[in-house]
Protein backbone atom coordinates (compact mmCIF):
# COMPACT_ATOMS: atom_id res chain seq x y z
CA UNK A 1 0.00 0.00 0.00
CA UNK A 2 1.47 3.37 -0.95
CA UNK A 3 1.49 6.41 1.35
CA UNK A 4 -1.63 8.06 -0.12
CA UNK A 5 -3.59 4.83 0.09
CA UNK A 6 -2.45 4.43 3.70
CA UNK A 7 -3.93 7.82 4.70
CA UNK A 8 -7.21 7.39 2.83
CA UNK A 9 -9.98 6.69 5.33
CA UNK A 10 -12.78 4.14 4.93
CA UNK A 11 -15.31 7.01 5.15
CA UNK A 12 -13.94 8.79 2.13
CA UNK A 13 -13.64 5.55 0.12
CA UNK A 14 -17.24 4.70 0.96
CA UNK A 15 -18.33 8.16 -0.12
CA UNK A 16 -16.40 7.76 -3.40
CA UNK A 17 -18.26 4.52 -4.09
CA UNK A 18 -21.61 6.23 -3.37
CA UNK A 19 -20.71 9.00 -5.81
CA UNK A 20 -19.66 6.49 -8.47
CA UNK A 21 -23.02 4.72 -8.11
CA UNK A 22 -24.73 7.94 -9.19
CA UNK A 23 -22.68 8.25 -12.39
CA UNK A 24 -23.41 6.33 -15.59
CA UNK A 25 -19.65 6.01 -16.16
CA UNK A 26 -18.96 5.03 -12.51
CA UNK A 27 -17.64 1.56 -13.33
CA UNK A 28 -15.36 2.93 -16.03
CA UNK A 29 -13.98 5.67 -13.74
CA UNK A 30 -13.35 3.15 -10.99
CA UNK A 31 -11.59 0.79 -13.45
CA UNK A 32 -9.35 3.48 -14.90
CA UNK A 33 -8.40 5.02 -11.56
CA UNK A 34 -7.55 1.64 -9.92
CA UNK A 35 -6.57 1.77 -6.22
CA UNK A 36 -3.47 3.96 -6.37
CA UNK A 37 -4.92 6.61 -8.70
CA UNK A 38 -8.15 6.56 -6.69
CA UNK A 39 -6.27 7.80 -3.61
CA UNK A 40 -4.59 10.47 -5.74
CA UNK A 41 -7.98 11.58 -7.12
CA UNK A 42 -9.66 11.58 -3.70
CA UNK A 43 -6.99 13.84 -2.22
CA UNK A 44 -6.85 16.29 -5.15
CA UNK A 45 -9.99 16.40 -7.33
CA UNK A 46 -12.36 14.84 -4.77
CA UNK A 47 -12.69 17.85 -2.40
CA UNK A 48 -13.78 20.11 -5.28
CA UNK A 49 -16.12 17.47 -6.69
CA UNK A 50 -18.14 16.59 -3.64
CA UNK A 51 -18.80 18.50 -0.41
CA UNK A 52 -18.93 15.35 1.71
CA UNK A 53 -15.47 14.33 0.51
CA UNK A 54 -14.29 17.87 1.22
CA UNK A 55 -15.56 17.66 4.79
CA UNK A 56 -13.61 14.42 5.36
CA UNK A 57 -10.23 15.96 4.54
CA UNK A 58 -8.20 18.79 6.11
CA UNK A 59 -9.31 22.34 5.26
CA UNK A 60 -7.87 23.93 2.13
CA UNK A 61 -6.00 27.23 2.53
CA UNK A 62 -7.40 30.36 0.87
CA UNK A 63 -6.22 31.41 -2.62
CA UNK A 64 -3.99 34.23 -1.37
CA UNK A 65 -1.90 31.74 0.66
CA UNK A 66 -1.96 29.03 -2.03
CA UNK A 67 -0.73 31.42 -4.68
CA UNK A 68 2.39 32.36 -2.67
CA UNK A 69 3.61 28.77 -2.55
CA UNK A 70 2.34 27.12 -5.73
CA UNK A 71 -0.35 27.29 -8.38
CA UNK A 72 -3.52 28.81 -6.86
CA UNK A 73 -5.94 26.23 -8.34
CA UNK A 74 -7.15 23.96 -5.54
CA UNK A 75 -6.70 20.75 -7.52
CA UNK A 76 -3.14 21.61 -8.54
CA UNK A 77 -2.23 22.72 -5.01
CA UNK A 78 -3.58 19.45 -3.61
CA UNK A 79 -2.27 17.13 -6.33
CA UNK A 80 1.26 18.55 -6.36
CA UNK A 81 1.37 18.38 -2.56
CA UNK A 82 0.20 14.75 -2.57
CA UNK A 83 2.63 13.84 -5.32
CA UNK A 84 5.62 15.62 -3.75
CA UNK A 85 5.16 14.26 -0.22
CA UNK A 86 4.66 10.72 -1.60
CA UNK A 87 7.88 11.05 -3.60
CA UNK A 88 9.84 12.45 -0.63
CA UNK A 89 8.61 9.78 1.78
CA UNK A 90 9.43 7.02 -0.70
CA UNK A 91 12.99 8.30 -1.01
CA UNK A 92 13.43 8.98 2.71
CA UNK A 93 12.18 5.53 3.69
CA UNK A 94 14.46 3.97 1.09
CA UNK A 95 17.56 5.59 2.59
CA UNK A 96 16.49 5.37 6.26
CA UNK A 97 18.42 3.27 8.73
CA UNK A 98 16.57 -0.06 9.24
CA UNK A 99 16.42 0.50 13.01
CA UNK A 100 14.83 3.95 12.81
CA UNK A 101 11.87 4.16 15.21
CA UNK A 102 8.25 4.88 14.29
CA UNK A 103 6.83 7.48 14.39
CA UNK A 104 9.50 9.17 12.31
CA UNK A 105 10.08 12.75 13.46
CA UNK A 106 9.83 14.77 10.27
CA UNK A 107 10.40 18.49 9.61
CA UNK A 108 9.14 20.57 6.69
CA UNK A 109 11.40 23.65 6.63
CA UNK A 110 9.55 26.45 4.79
CA UNK A 111 6.25 24.58 4.96
CA UNK A 112 4.14 27.44 3.57
CA UNK A 113 0.43 26.78 4.04
CA UNK A 114 0.93 23.04 4.52
CA UNK A 115 0.83 21.84 0.90
CA UNK A 116 2.82 18.77 2.02
CA UNK A 117 2.37 18.68 5.81
CA UNK A 118 -1.43 18.38 5.44
CA UNK A 119 -0.87 14.76 4.34
CA UNK A 120 1.63 13.93 7.10
CA UNK A 121 -0.98 14.91 9.67
CA UNK A 122 -3.19 12.06 8.42
CA UNK A 123 -0.56 9.41 9.14
CA UNK A 124 0.43 7.74 12.42
CA UNK A 125 3.80 6.80 10.97
CA UNK A 126 5.05 10.40 11.04
CA UNK A 127 5.16 13.05 13.74
CA UNK A 128 5.26 16.22 11.68
CA UNK A 129 6.62 19.67 12.41
CA UNK A 130 6.53 22.52 9.91
CA UNK A 131 8.26 25.85 10.23
CA UNK A 132 8.00 28.94 8.09
CA UNK A 133 9.08 32.56 8.28
CA UNK A 134 5.68 33.87 7.09
CA UNK A 135 3.37 34.34 10.07
CA UNK A 136 0.21 34.10 7.89
CA UNK A 137 1.17 30.61 6.72
CA UNK A 138 2.05 29.51 10.25
CA UNK A 139 -1.20 30.84 11.71
CA UNK A 140 -3.28 29.10 9.04
CA UNK A 141 -1.52 25.76 9.55
CA UNK A 142 -1.69 25.99 13.34
CA UNK A 143 -5.44 26.64 13.18
CA UNK A 144 -6.30 24.07 10.47
CA UNK A 145 -3.80 21.21 10.67
CA UNK A 146 -4.12 20.17 14.33
CA UNK A 147 -1.98 17.04 14.02
CA UNK A 148 0.99 19.01 12.69
CA UNK A 149 3.09 21.25 14.94
CA UNK A 150 3.63 24.43 12.96
CA UNK A 151 6.05 27.04 14.29
CA UNK A 152 7.38 30.34 13.03
CA UNK A 153 11.11 30.64 12.54
CA UNK A 154 12.93 33.97 12.36
CA UNK A 155 14.81 35.27 9.32
CA UNK A 156 18.05 33.89 10.76
CA UNK A 157 18.72 30.58 12.54
CA UNK A 158 18.25 28.87 14.91
CA UNK A 159 15.04 26.96 14.31
CA UNK A 160 12.87 26.68 17.44
CA UNK A 161 13.82 22.98 17.71
CA UNK A 162 16.22 20.99 19.88
CA UNK A 163 19.48 19.47 18.64
CA UNK A 164 19.15 15.93 17.18
CA UNK A 165 15.34 16.05 17.42
CA UNK A 166 14.46 15.24 13.78
CA UNK A 167 14.89 12.03 11.73
CA UNK A 168 13.80 13.31 8.30
CA UNK A 169 13.67 16.87 7.01
CA UNK A 170 12.84 18.34 3.65
CA UNK A 171 12.73 21.83 2.22
CA UNK A 172 10.89 22.22 -1.05
CA UNK A 173 11.45 25.38 -3.07
CA UNK A 174 13.02 27.32 -0.21
CA UNK A 175 16.72 27.15 -1.10
CA UNK A 176 15.62 28.17 -4.60
CA UNK A 177 14.93 31.62 -3.09
CA UNK A 178 17.80 32.23 -0.65
CA UNK A 179 21.14 33.96 -1.17
CA UNK A 180 24.24 31.85 -0.54
CA UNK A 181 24.98 33.22 2.94
CA UNK A 182 21.46 32.45 4.19
CA UNK A 183 21.52 29.01 2.56
CA UNK A 184 24.76 28.13 4.38
CA UNK A 185 23.37 29.31 7.72
CA UNK A 186 20.15 27.30 7.35
CA UNK A 187 22.01 24.17 6.21
CA UNK A 188 24.12 24.33 9.36
CA UNK A 189 21.02 24.67 11.50
CA UNK A 190 19.24 21.81 9.73
CA UNK A 191 22.32 19.68 10.46
CA UNK A 192 22.01 20.69 14.12
CA UNK A 193 18.37 19.61 14.48
CA UNK A 194 18.82 16.37 12.52
CA UNK A 195 19.89 13.30 14.48
CA UNK A 196 23.19 11.77 13.31
CA UNK A 197 22.48 9.84 10.11
CA UNK A 198 19.25 11.83 9.65
CA UNK A 199 18.14 12.61 6.12
CA UNK A 200 17.39 15.91 4.41
CA UNK A 201 15.86 16.59 0.99
CA UNK A 202 16.58 19.94 -0.66
CA UNK A 203 15.18 21.18 -3.97
CA UNK A 204 16.79 23.92 -6.05
CA UNK A 205 16.43 25.70 -9.39
CA UNK A 206 19.20 24.81 -11.82
CA UNK A 207 19.83 24.33 -15.51
CA UNK A 208 16.80 22.07 -15.84
CA UNK A 209 14.47 24.79 -14.50
CA UNK A 210 16.00 27.29 -16.95
CA UNK A 211 15.29 24.89 -19.82
CA UNK A 212 11.66 24.68 -18.67
CA UNK A 213 11.38 28.47 -18.32
CA UNK A 214 12.98 29.26 -21.72
CA UNK A 215 10.03 28.46 -24.05
CA UNK A 216 7.19 29.01 -21.55
CA UNK A 217 5.27 32.31 -21.50
CA UNK A 218 3.78 31.45 -18.09
CA UNK A 219 7.27 31.02 -16.64
CA UNK A 220 8.51 34.19 -18.36
CA UNK A 221 5.89 36.10 -16.39
CA UNK A 222 6.64 34.25 -13.13
CA UNK A 223 10.39 34.79 -13.34
CA UNK A 224 10.46 38.12 -15.18
CA UNK A 225 12.69 36.60 -17.84
CA UNK A 226 12.23 36.27 -21.60
CA UNK A 227 14.17 33.77 -23.75
CA UNK A 228 17.14 36.10 -24.11
CA UNK A 229 17.28 36.66 -20.34
CA UNK A 230 17.15 32.89 -19.77
CA UNK A 231 20.15 32.50 -22.09
CA UNK A 232 22.04 35.16 -20.15
CA UNK A 233 21.16 33.42 -16.88
CA UNK A 234 22.25 30.02 -18.25
CA UNK A 235 25.62 31.50 -19.21
CA UNK A 236 25.98 33.15 -15.80
CA UNK A 237 25.10 29.87 -14.11
CA UNK A 238 27.83 28.07 -16.05
CA UNK A 239 30.50 30.48 -14.78
CA UNK A 240 29.19 31.75 -11.42
CA UNK A 241 27.49 28.44 -10.39
CA UNK A 242 25.14 30.24 -7.95
CA UNK A 243 23.19 33.31 -9.05
CA UNK A 244 20.82 35.12 -6.68
CA UNK A 245 18.42 37.66 -8.22
CA UNK A 246 16.56 39.64 -5.51
CA UNK A 247 12.81 40.12 -5.94
CA UNK A 248 11.39 43.61 -6.36
CA UNK A 249 10.39 45.42 -3.15
CA UNK A 250 6.74 44.73 -4.00
CA UNK A 251 7.24 40.95 -4.21
CA UNK A 252 9.41 40.93 -1.07
CA UNK A 253 6.61 42.70 0.81
CA UNK A 254 3.94 40.28 -0.43
CA UNK A 255 6.00 37.15 0.34
CA UNK A 256 6.67 38.17 3.97
CA UNK A 257 9.76 35.97 3.86
CA UNK A 258 12.45 38.41 5.00
CA UNK A 259 14.34 41.08 3.07
CA UNK A 260 16.80 38.81 1.31
CA UNK A 261 14.42 36.91 -0.93
CA UNK A 262 14.59 36.26 -4.64
CA UNK A 263 15.27 33.60 -7.26
CA UNK A 264 18.37 31.50 -6.81
CA UNK A 265 19.81 29.31 -9.56
CA UNK A 266 22.46 26.80 -8.48
CA UNK A 267 24.49 24.34 -10.54
CA UNK A 268 24.43 20.74 -9.31
CA UNK A 269 28.14 20.75 -8.38
CA UNK A 270 27.88 24.07 -6.52
CA UNK A 271 24.90 22.79 -4.55
CA UNK A 272 26.94 19.76 -3.44
CA UNK A 273 29.78 22.01 -2.32
CA UNK A 274 27.45 24.07 -0.09
CA UNK A 275 26.86 21.20 2.31
CA UNK A 276 29.75 18.80 1.78
CA UNK A 277 31.15 19.41 5.31
CA UNK A 278 27.79 18.70 6.93
CA UNK A 279 26.05 16.20 4.66
CA UNK A 280 26.86 13.40 2.27
CA UNK A 281 24.76 13.51 -0.92
CA UNK A 282 23.24 10.04 -1.25
CA UNK A 283 21.10 10.78 -4.32
CA UNK A 284 20.58 13.69 -6.68
CA UNK A 285 18.54 14.21 -9.81
CA UNK A 286 18.42 17.20 -12.10
CA UNK A 287 14.73 18.06 -12.63
CA UNK A 288 13.78 15.28 -10.18
CA UNK A 289 10.84 17.26 -8.81
CA UNK A 290 8.18 16.81 -11.49
CA UNK A 291 10.68 17.65 -14.23
CA UNK A 292 11.21 21.05 -12.63
CA UNK A 293 13.49 21.61 -9.64
CA UNK A 294 16.65 19.61 -8.90
CA UNK A 295 16.43 17.21 -5.97
CA UNK A 296 19.19 16.32 -3.50
CA UNK A 297 18.93 13.69 -0.76
CA UNK A 298 21.49 14.29 1.98
CA UNK A 299 22.58 12.28 4.98
CA UNK A 300 23.90 14.15 7.98
CA UNK A 301 27.52 13.28 8.60
CA UNK A 302 28.47 12.05 12.07
CA UNK A 303 30.57 14.83 13.57
> Among positive and negative, which fits the CA dihedral 105, 110, 113, 119?
negative
Site for ligand SAM in 101-120 (CB under 6 A): 110-112, 115
Size of the site for ligand SAM (CB under 6 A): 19
> What are residue 112's phi and psi, to 5 degrees?
60, -140
**115 versus 214: smaller Cβ distance to ligand SAM:** 115
Of 226, 224, 171, 222, the C-alpha closest to 193 is: 171
- Cα angle 81-84-90, degrees, rounded to a multiple of 5: 135
Stretch 217-236 residues interacting with ligand SAM (CB under 6 A): none
**Would you say 150 or 267 has its CB closer to ligand SAM?**
150
Q: Show the DSSP H helices in the chain as ranges.
A: 3-6, 10-21, 26-44, 46-49, 51-55, 63-69, 74-95, 117-120, 135-144, 180-193, 207-213, 217-223, 227-240, 249-255, 268-275
The reply on whether position 60 binds ligand SAM by CB under 6 A is no
d(CA 203, CA 43): 23
Question: What's the closest the beta carbon of residue 95 comes to ligand SAM, in angstroms?
Answer: 20
134 binds ligand SAM per the rule CB under 6 A: yes
Examine residue 44 and tell whether it contacts ligand SAM (CB under 6 A): no
User: Shortest CA distance to 72 belongs to which of 195, 138, 80?
Assistant: 80
Binding residues among 143-162 for ligand SAM as defined by CB under 6 A: 153, 155
Q: Nearer to ligand SAM by C-beta: 90 or 196?
A: 90
Residue 42 or 257 with smaller CB distance to ligand SAM: 257
Cα separation, 166 vs 47, whole angstroms: 32
Task: Rank residues 15 and 115 by Cβ distance to ligand SAM and give the closer one.
Answer: 115
Closest CB 18 distance from ligand SAM, rounded Å: 32
CB of 217 to ligand SAM, least distance (A): 20
Cα gap 189→185, rounded to integer Å? 6
The answer to whether 38 contacts ligand SAM (rule: CB under 6 A) is no
- In the set 57, 91, 106, 257, which binds ligand SAM (CB under 6 A)? 257
Q: Residue 85 in contact with residue 116, Cβ under 8 Å?
A: yes
Footprint on residues 160-219 left by ligand SAM (CB under 6 A): 172-174, 177
Q: Distance of alpha carbon 185 from its chain centroid, rounded?
A: 20
Residues found near ligand SAM in the complex (CB under 6 A) = 69-70, 110-112, 115, 131-134, 137, 153, 155, 172-174, 177, 257-258
Amino acid sequence: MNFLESITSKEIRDRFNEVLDTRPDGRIVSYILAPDKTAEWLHSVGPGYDDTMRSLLPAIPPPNLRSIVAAPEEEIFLWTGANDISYFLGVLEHYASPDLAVPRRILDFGCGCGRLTRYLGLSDRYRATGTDINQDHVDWCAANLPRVTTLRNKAVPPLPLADNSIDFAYSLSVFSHLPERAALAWLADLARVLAPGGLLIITTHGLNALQVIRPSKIHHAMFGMDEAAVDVMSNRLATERLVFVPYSAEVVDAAKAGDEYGNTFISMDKADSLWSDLFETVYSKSGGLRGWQDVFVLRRRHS
